[in-house]
Every structure is written in structure tokens, then in C-alpha cells.
Structure 1
Amino acid sequence: MRYDRLGSAANFDQLYDQRVRNAAFEWLASQCAVHGDVLPRRPLLEGGFEFQGRRIHLVGPQGIFKPRTMAVPLSITTTPAGPYNDAFGPEHFLRYRYRGDDVDHHENVGLRTAMAYHLPLVYFHGLLPGRYFAEWPVYVVGDSPETLTFSIEVDTRKMRPAAVPMQVRESAAARRETALRRQYVTVESRRRLHQQAFRERVLKAYRHQCALCRLRHEELLDAAHIIPDAEPEGEPEVRNGLALCRLHHAAFDRFFLGIRPDYTIQVRPAILLEEDGPTLRHAIQGLHGRRISLPRRHSDRPSPSSLSFRYDRFLEQAATL
């Protein structure tokens, strides 16, 4: 496969490329249905899937990845250490750094080709080592050699027609509609990315168990904000988070119980007086006066000031209910 500097490809098998990308999207959807939105690098993404008797891998050692059977990159990946806010530039684009500082490096030219042919890719956001949040399809929509970055947009459509240059396929009106849709979807992508990163880090800190009842089934665990994320102080940081099962997350949010700054659980007085079945008795009332399970690392433990803020809210609500 040969490219010119702007990314036009010679001998590009458009139909095969389309089929592989659509197969990759279908496979990713099936894996997310099993594993959730965050996927393990090993063995899943590195192992990939079979397509027409050949193994298609999803990621490689470098961030811009092209399977051997393809002419143009299939995925881009960021590392867990990457700053999430810095990935979002003006006009709701994501920014993706070049491979190195050589504008004509073959991987950078490969992404330029994806832009020229309007090819959908997969974006793997590294949340923790070996754990990736997958977004697809994403499109390369801009190239800035001055800043060594590409502009990326997220879309909602999972399947695409055969690859042809964007200007041939879409009218000006259709391109405007596409741009508006992608701006919205890309903003939503940032929100989901922050949520998933927060969840992964909080659950890891709490050893993947509920801080109140120690339930370990990850499918039933949430990362709860101590100070709600709608508040100015409600940062998506581990110290502002608690790993809670769905029941105790709802109970915490609805002020059935509160957590004092010394990590002691207080159940609302009116709830303590209720008489009901074993769930209320053991799962709610039985927590009164107990301490929550804490992360091993002191730096990950709930901020006393955040707990104090939330506990004051709990006392206000308890006085009126």
C-alpha cells in the first residue's frame, strides 16, 4: 500500500475495509454486552476476532493501530496517564496526538488517509492499566501539523457504506447535519468518559466491593459521588467517591442513611423505627453505627470535608422527613 503525503491511498480495497470495520464494530458491541463498556486489553482486545479465516487484532504496541490485513488504521488508543480534559479541544473536538513529531510518519499518514476516505475508527480510552473505554465510530475530521494533532469526532452510527472521499458522498447540507450531530455526541462522549474513569478508579480503590455491605459482584456496584457531580465541589475524584451496591447507592442518594466524617454510618431515625421485612432490617437498619470499609491507600479514602458537606445535607433531610 502506498500513500501520498495527504493520505490518498493506492490500491485501496474499499469493500474489504468496510467489511472488516463493520465486523469489528459488531464484535465490540457483543463484547460490551458481556463485559460492560470497559474492556480488558488482555486477552480480549489484543486477541481480537476471526474474520475470513484470519485474526483481526484491535490494539497494538503503538496508539495508532492497523491490523496486518488492512491498509488503513482501525483504532487509536490513549494511555491511562493521559489527561482527559486536554483531549477535548475547542468546537467539541477530541484531540489526538501524532505519532512522534514526524508529520510524514506512516502512522500519521494512515490517519490522514482515514480522514480523506471518511473511514470510521475505534477510539480506546485508557482508564486504568489494561482497562479501556471503547468509542466507535469516530472520525478524523481535522489535521494540524502545527500542533501535531488530529481532530476527532464521535458519531452514533455503527455501520457505514463503502469508503469514498467525504466530499463525494455528502452534500453540504448533509455535512452540516452530520457536524451538528457529532458535536452533540462528542460532548456526551466526554461525559461518559469521565463517568467511566471515575467508576473504574473508585471500584479499584475499594477493591471492587460495596463500602457498606462488601458485596463483590461488580455488575451490581456503582461509583457514587459524595458531593453530587452537579455541585461545583463535586469533582470526579476518588476521594469524592464511594463504591456502593445499587441498593445502598439509592439509600445514600435518598438520605435513608448518611456517613459521618469519622466514617460511621447513620440511618435516618424514622427509618430505624420502621417495621418491614428482612431487607430493611438487615440491609439498612443493621448498618446503623457501623463503619464503612475504606480503601487501603489513605490518599484514596473519602475526604472528611466532603463527608461533612454531605452529612449536613443528610441531617437537614432527616429533620424534615
Structure 2
Amino acid sequence: MDSEVELRLRELIFERLAELRSAHGVVTRNQWENLEIDGRPRRLIDRNRGIWNPRDLAATLSVVSNPAGPYSDSELTESLFAYDYRAGSVDGDNRKLRRACDLGLPIILLRTVRAGIFVPIFPVYVVADDLPNRRFMLALEQSLRFVTDPLHLDPIERAYALRAVKQRLHQPEFRGRVLLAYEQKCAVCSLRHGELLDAAHIIGDGKPDGIPIVPNGLSLCKIHHAAYDTNLLGVSPDYIVRINASLMEESDGPMLRHGLQEMDGRALSLPPRAADRPSQARLAKRFDDFLASSG
């Protein structure tokens, strides 16, 4: 396949994946194995291996990275993700990853969140082949393909790379894990339209203990996320929704009445798995801020 045609196919795949990620946060193996692209079914993942090299494509299409797996895939500096060679030969499945680098073709990084469930990160670029360490360097942002030395960034490049990694890797993975834990519904109002759901931090991103893990997250629709971030809505450590006293005294349209005021005193909808439930210690700390603002 001509590289320009192949690039267009990959762009069509990314468009479809963007729709799925927006709606669900994650993509299941069944979806990966038979996803309709431009009116035709297309496999986007290997059945048994972590690298998928379709016969009709010149380069690798997707790679799987499992944080709990046997490989030491990891973020490397602020700009790159290190992806280990497949065990065994330095060639084999690794050969088409080198072709992705040579041709500048973007690939998909699949981050495993549970067995058979992945958060897709795309487009990702293979920018270096680190043969001595048996790994490839993946750039999560297109512009990072063109820095002089991706392993040694200058201060401006490093600041940009930090933002890129946060936006391209951390945020989608956090959202995917949180929405999956809450079964794609708002923990306050139970809205199930995934496109309208966010993963809200209990302790804010960038603050001590504000790490992107499910117990520090809440699945919230956009109105309740905005209300939570501005302390118009709070969640007590015993999982009860509270609305800022100033809002409870207002008189406005149906959104205020039904969307916010009627949520006061409602029990939070919790994830089925106890390990995914919001940290009560974090909720208590955040609830203190809410109470202070409600004055």
C-alpha cells in the first residue's frame, strides 16, 4: 500500500477511535478485533501478541502496553515513552516498528486497564530505535518528532513535552479508568451519555496526593464536574452530595432546580468494585474546601 494511502487509512482509524474514546473512555478487545472503518471491517489488534503488523500495511498499526505485564514499558524523560522489543529476535515483529519510524507513519498505543479493555493513545510516533537497550522510543506528540535530541530536551522543549504527555497519555488513561469503574455514568445524576462525562479529580491535579488514580477520581457529567471544580457541589466523606448554600437559596430555571438543587442530599453512585471507590480521606480534605466556600 502506498504510504500516503496508508496514512489516510490510519487517519480514518483515528477518527473512529476518537468517537469510541469520547463515548466510553475505553475500547474492548471485541471492538478492536472487528471495527468498521470506511464501510469495511478492520482488525486493529493482534490476537496473541502485543505488536500488530497487518499484512496489507507497510508498518505496525498498534502496540499493547500493559502496566502489569512482563515488559518494562515506561515514560522516559518528559517526552518519550519507551516500548520494549518483543522478546527474542531484534527483528521479527519489531521490523515493522522500524518501518513506522522510517516512513513517519503514526501508530496506536493501547494501554491495558483491565483484561481485554484498553485506552487508545493516538497518534503516536516511533522516533528512535534504541538497539542497545532493546526498546523503541515513542513520541506522544507529533511536534516532538522533530526535536534535535529527544532524550536531552532544552527547558522550553521540556515544558512543552510535560504538557503533551499529560494531555495525550495521563488524561485519556485516567478518564478511561474512571469511566470504566463507574460503568460510564455520572456518580451524581446517573447520566449515561459518555460524550458528556468527565473524570474529575478529587484532589486537584498537580497538588500533593492529586495523582491520576481511580480512588482520586469521580465520573461526573460536565455540569456536575464544573460545579464540583468551583465548590458549588461537594461530596462528603460518607458519599453524600451537597450543594452550596448560596445556590440552594437561588430561584432560576429548571437546570438549577433539577440539575443542582435536587441533587442535595443524594447518595453518590459508587463503583461496584470496592477498590475503585473514592478515597474517603481525599473526599474529606476536598469537602473541607467546599464547606469553607459555602460559609
Q: TM-score, normalised by structure 1?
A: 0.76
Match of 2:242 in 1: 266
Residue 307 of structure 1: how far off its partner (Å)? 0.7
Identity among equivalent pairs (%): 37
Give CA-to-partner distance per residue, 1:215-261, whole Å, 9 cap, x none.
Answer: 11111111111111121111111111111111111111111121111
Q: Root-mean-square deviation (CA), in Å?
A: 3.3
Match of 1:193 in 2: 169
Distance of 1:54 and 1:251 partners within structure 2: 42
Say if 2:74 and 2:81, in contact at 8 Å, map to a contact too: yes
Say if 2:65 and 2:73, in contact at 8 Å, map to a contact too: no
Say if 1:27 and 1:49, in contact at 8 Å, map to a contact too: no
Residue 57 of structure 1: how far off its partner (Å)? 3.8
Say if 2:126 and 2:136, in contact at 8 Å, map to a contact too: no
Distance of 1:23 and 1:224 partners within structure 2: 34
Note the residue ranges of structure 1 that are not aligned, 5 or more in a row. 1-15, 158-165, 167-173
Give the stretch that moved more between structures: 60-69 or 310-319.
Answer: 60-69
Give the stretch that moved more between structures: 296-305 or 118-127.
Answer: 118-127
Change in 2 beyond 3 A, CA 1:100/1:259:
same
Distance of 2:53 and 2:157 partners within structure 1: 24
1:90-239 → structure 2 map (5 Å cutoff): 90=77, 92-103=79-90, 105-115=91-101, 117-128=102-113, 129-145=116-132, 147-156=133-142, 176=148, 184=160, 188-239=164-215
Distance of 1:83 and 1:195 partners within structure 2: 24
Distance of 2:192 and 2:78 partners within structure 1: 41
Distance of 2:258 and 2:245 partners within structure 1: 16
Residue 100 of structure 1: how far off its partner (Å)? 0.3
Say if 2:50 and 2:65, in contact at 8 Å, map to a contact too: yes
Distance of 1:148 and 1:17 partners within structure 2: 29
Residue-pair matches, total: 285
Q: TM-score, normalised by structure 2?
A: 0.82
Distance of 1:271 and 1:318 partners within structure 2: 9
Note the residue ranges of structure 2 that are not aligned, 5 or more in a row. none
Which amino acid in structure 2 is aligned with residue 110 of structure 1? K
Residue 33 of structure 1: how far off its partner (Å)? 5.0
Say if 1:21 and 1:121, in contact at 8 Å, map to a contact too: no
Match of 1:63 in 2: 50
Distance of 2:30 and 2:289 partners within structure 1: 45
Which amino acid in structure 2 is aligned with residue 27 of structure 1? L
Say if 1:80 and 1:125, in contact at 8 Å, map to a contact too: no
Distance of 1:85 and 1:91 partners within structure 2: 17
Which amino acid in structure 2 is aligned with residue 260 of structure 1? S
Residue 106 of structure 1: how far off its partner (Å)? 1.5
Out of 262, 274, 291, the position equivalent to 1:315 is: 291
Which amino acid in structure 1 is aligned with residue 8 of structure 2? A
Change in 2 beyond 3 A, CA 1:44/1:267:
closer
Match of 1:9 in 2: none
Residue 310 of structure 1: how far off its partner (Å)? 0.4
Give CA-to-partner distance per residue, 1:280-316, whole Å, 9 cap, x none.
Answer: 1122111222211111222211111101110111111
Give the stretch that moved more between structures: 185-194 or 20-29.
Answer: 185-194
Does 1:283 pair with 2:270? Answer: no
Distance of 2:78 and 2:279 partners within structure 1: 35
